[in-house]
Amino acid sequence: MLRAREACCLPRGKRNPPKAKASSSKVKTTVATGAGTSANLVTILGAYASILKNYDVAKKFIEGVIPPLKKAAANKLEFDQVILRLFQGIGEMWDDAMIQQGRATSMESEMTRAQKTALDLERQLAKVKIREQRTVDELKKTKEDRDATVARLETEVAELKKGKALANKKAIEEFKSLDDF
């Protein structure tokens, strides 16, 4: 006799065919959709239909058929699957964490680059302000020098005009004082 676990895993050709005599003599045949436990599954589902395709039914069947020593193996199989899923979840979380860490590192390097750029721009701005102040100071000094030069030249021109006027006056007086006139 095949065990339940072996029966669900064998290909259809190797399974033992259901015994027609046993099924017809022991079970009352009623064809009713939605019928409960009194329905003959072979009649309703067909000769090769498997109730083991339903997970809950297969689990209950295995719990009832597998001896206690093999139940531990079945539970271990489920536990192994749970552990496998746990490790898969941990792996996915690890991958997500690595991606987040990579993004954080990238953002940190971008932030550092931006801070360096800001410091460079501040230094350049300070240098430009110093140059601007020097240029303004030089322009002020140049303007003061020009104004002083213009004032000095205006004074010299005024003195020269006075000197010329005085020289003209003296020349006229000398000319008048000559007897030849």
CA dist 40 and 160 (Å) reads 142
pLDDT per residue as tens digits for the range 125-175: 999 999 999 999 999 999 999 999 999 999 999 999 999 999 999 998 888
pLDDT band (50, 70, 90) for residue 180: low
pLDDT of residue 81: 77
How far apart CA 132 and CA 170 sit, in angstroms, is 56
| 49 pLDDT higher than 80 | no
Average pLDDT over the chain, rounded to an integer: 76
The reported pLDDT for the residue numbered 6 is 45
**What is the rounded distance in angstroms from the CA atom of residue 99 to the CA atom of residue 107?**
12
Dist. CA 96–CA 92, nearest whole Å = 6
The model carries a pTM of 0.37
Largest CA distance in the chain: 182
The pLDDT value recorded for residue 28 is 44
